Amino acid sequence: QVQLQESGPGLVKPSQTLSLTCTVSGSSISSGRYYWSWIRQPAGKGLEWIGRIHISGNTNYNPSLRSRVTISVDTSKNQFSLRLNSVTAADTAVYYCARVPFTIFGVARGFDPWGQGSQVTVSS
């Protein structure tokens, strides 16, 4: 059974960097068969795709966040990580990591599974 689990600080000060890690079990990040993604949900709002990484090192980010986001992977720990710089209160959200397969044309398919989510609050 594939499981993903987010971890990281629940409170980040404004202007600082939000850092989260997603630990994957039951599936090898190195297999190359999936994108590994981050998605967030601000309180009372909908879902926002943040970005994704493939083991090849290829990354794609939402243009709305691209200047502040970095997603990386650590194959030795079977983890991937999110860094979001210069955070503000607008970055307060539940952050999810998720696995997504892709077609031979590189198109992502459905996100499954998802981690349980990690609440991150930006406040001084």
The single residue among 71, 93, 96, 122 that binds another protein, judged by CB under 8 A, is 96
Cα gap 16→1, rounded to integer Å: 36
Q: According to the binding rule CB under 8 A, does residue 57 interact with another protein?
A: no
Q: Which stretch binds another protein (CB under 8 A): 12-20, 23-31, 58-66, 70-78?
A: 58-66
Is residue 123 within 8 A of residue 9, CB to CB? The reply is: no
Nearer to another protein, 16 or 41 (CB): 41
Nearer to another protein, 93 or 115 (CB): 115
Side-chain half-sphere CA neighbours of 116 within 13 A = 6
* Least distance between another protein and beta carbon 101 (Å): 10
Q: According to the binding rule CB under 8 A, does residue 116 interact with another protein?
A: yes
The single residue among 23, 27, 49, 70 that binds another protein, judged by CB under 8 A, is 49
Q: Nearest to residue 27, comparing CAs of 102, 113, 122, 110?
A: 113
11-12 vs 118-122, strand pairing mode = parallel
Q: According to the binding rule CB under 8 A, does residue 70 interact with another protein?
A: no
Sheet hosting strand 18-25, strand order edge to edge: 3-7, 18-25, 79-84, 69-74
In the numeric block, the tokens 């609440």 are attached to 119
Q: According to the binding rule CB under 8 A, does residue 60 interact with another protein?
A: yes
Interface contacts to another protein, rule CB under 8 A:
46-49, 60-64, 96, 98, 100, 103-105, 107-117
